[in-house]
Amino acid sequence: MKHTGLRKPFALTALCAAVAMSSLHAWAVTDQEILNDAKSTDQIVTNGLGLQGQRYSTLDTLNTNNINQLRPVWGFSLGGEKQRGQEAQPLIKDGVMYITGSYSRVYALDARTGKELWQYDARLPDGIMPCCDVINRGVALYGDLVIFGTLDAKLVALNKDTGKVVWKKTVADYKAGYSLTAAPLVVNGKLITGVSGGEFGVVGKIEAYDAKNGELLWTRPTVEGHMGYVWKDGKKVESGISGGEAGKTWPGDLWKTGGAAPWLGGYYDPDTDSLLFGTGNPAPWNSHLRPGDNLYSSSRLALDPNDGSIKWHFQSTPHDGWDFDGVNELISFDYKDGGKTIKAAGTADRNGFFYVLDRTNGKFIRGFPFVDKITWAKGLDKTGRPIYDEAHRPGNPADADKGKSVFVAPSFLGGKNWMPMAYSQDTGLFYVPSNEWGMDIWNEGVSYKKGAAYLGAGFTIKPLNDDFIGVLRAIDPKTGKEVWRYNNYAPLWGGVLATKGNLVFTGNPEGYLMAFDAKTGKKVYEFNTGSGVIGSPVTWEMDGEQYVSVLSGWGGAVPLWGGEVAKRVKDFNQGGMVWTFKLPKDLVAKR
């Protein structure tokens, strides 16, 4: 605003200030709004449509009876040459949509028209090292800030009206292989994020920052032996939060470059006041170099949001030798058992097993395969620990057979990878985007070098079937039963949304946004977006009408790592679009 030197009447000045404050408070995202997001229908202010990450909407205006009337109302191109790997979930607040694009970009759009309000492009340095494409999975909203992570491992907070930088924080050294790809999480004013970089021998960590100014509050390394700390006013105020004994489940000094990156971020369970995060693979992939369970890699962790201390852990793949990770989302849900309410959490692991845990203490309740073929393990014991089939662990290159190659299913890309599943409060089912593939894998010698790939393994990924790889599954977590499935020719790599309208939405690399009957699995809608859908769809209500939005833009890990699978998707076009649909008021059919 240009100052003229003229004095305004006091009443007019006070009125302007009041209007400005009213406008600010009308938009500002509060802690209470974040906690209530799963119940709100006119906005989406969290990744996961609620802190527990169920990706369930209570809206039922759009349903199986009228889904055929859903129609596109606008599309927005992310522009430029950076059209690849769009994995973000949109957030919507007061008629404005906030999304991220590949190469660490943020957009604010008019949710009614798709008009761009502002765009922010991070100035990425040469030499960034994202392992699995240049993706970003979304922003966090808090107060009047839009906050996201960058491929050079920074957190950036932008003004929601202008897109100008309010604060910026370096989380880790990108030259060592660190990056940020997850959508941050906000709990009681704390901005919480994990880091990416497990393929480069980083030390995974989960950290909390003051969402208002970026001040570091606590840090929790996720490799046993590293200490966590709490900060106040920029200084350590506690001697440390125990990270376990150095070398106890790691040989020698390998815990110093142990990986276990919590690269997918996490969720929050208010019932137990716990952050629920998963951790990635131990480094290097060659498991013969690091005998032991290698905590806290390939695990699910419950953390105290106040100081980052670990309440409990569950390790899905101890001594991981296949890059199965353990980052896949851990979703809180309740169910009845003999009249008793069980506070549970469900997760579909890359290793091919679905786990149901007691989220109050991390104890194993049940586990079962959710994919058609698992070769690396014969099953799970009563504690949920895998019963290994050692014939399917790749050989030790130090032995005479020089690292024998073995065939393993699923492949390291997983029975389910990052793409988030949904839980329906109506059906009690999880809707799991999964894939049927295996791999030839062998081990190689390797030594750590800062900023260099730290694998010690080679691989070739292969489809298990000629006619499909992807499978959208409806899974009953109480019985392990597959209620229905939809087979897809290409791998599934996008998120899932469930609604009270008996609908399940997801997308495929062939370019279609699809909707299914949540009870039967019948496909009831599809729309070709022009590029592969690997983002996570959302739905919300605006002006009395129900909207659906999804990002479209093929990319991500599959075409980069896919071996024979990559041949199946080689002709798919990359892209960068947001598509928004709605059900017009005059076409609403009541159920």
Q: Give me the active site residues, please.
A: 323
Q: What is the DSSP annotation of 168-223?
A: EEE-S-GGGT-B--SPPEEETTEEEEE-B-GGGT-B-EEEEEETTT--EEEEEESS
**Do 171 and 219 form a contact (C-beta atoms < 8 A)?**
no
The DSSP-derived string for 546-565 is EEEEEEE-B-SSHHHH-THH
DSSP state of 26: H
CB neighbours of residue 343 within 10 Å:
16
Q: Which of 588, 581, 536 is nearest to 112 (CA)?
A: 581
Sheet holding 437-443, edge to edge: 406-408, 437-443, 457-463
- Residues 6 or more apart in contact with residue 320 via CB below 8 angstroms: 281, 282, 287, 294, 297, 298, 326
Determine phi and psi for 376, rounding to 5 degrees.
-75, -20
Sheet with strand 229-232: strands edge to edge: 185-187, 190-194, 205-210, 216-221, 229-232, 235-236
- Other C-beta atoms closer than 10 Å to the C-beta of 550 total 29
Cβ pair 507, 523 in contact under 8 A = no
Helix (H, G, I), strand (E, B) or coil at 271: coil
List, in sequence order, the alpha helices (H) in 367-427. none
Task: In whole angstroms, give the CA distance from residue 418 to residue 343.
Answer: 24
Distance between CA atoms of residues 124 and 102, nearest Å: 12
Strands (E), 468-511: 470-475, 482-488, 497-499, 503-507
Cis omega (within 30 of 0) on the bond before 178? no
Paired sense of beta strands 497-499 and 56-57, if any: parallel
The pair of three-digit structure tokens given for residue 475, joined into one six-digit string: 């899974």
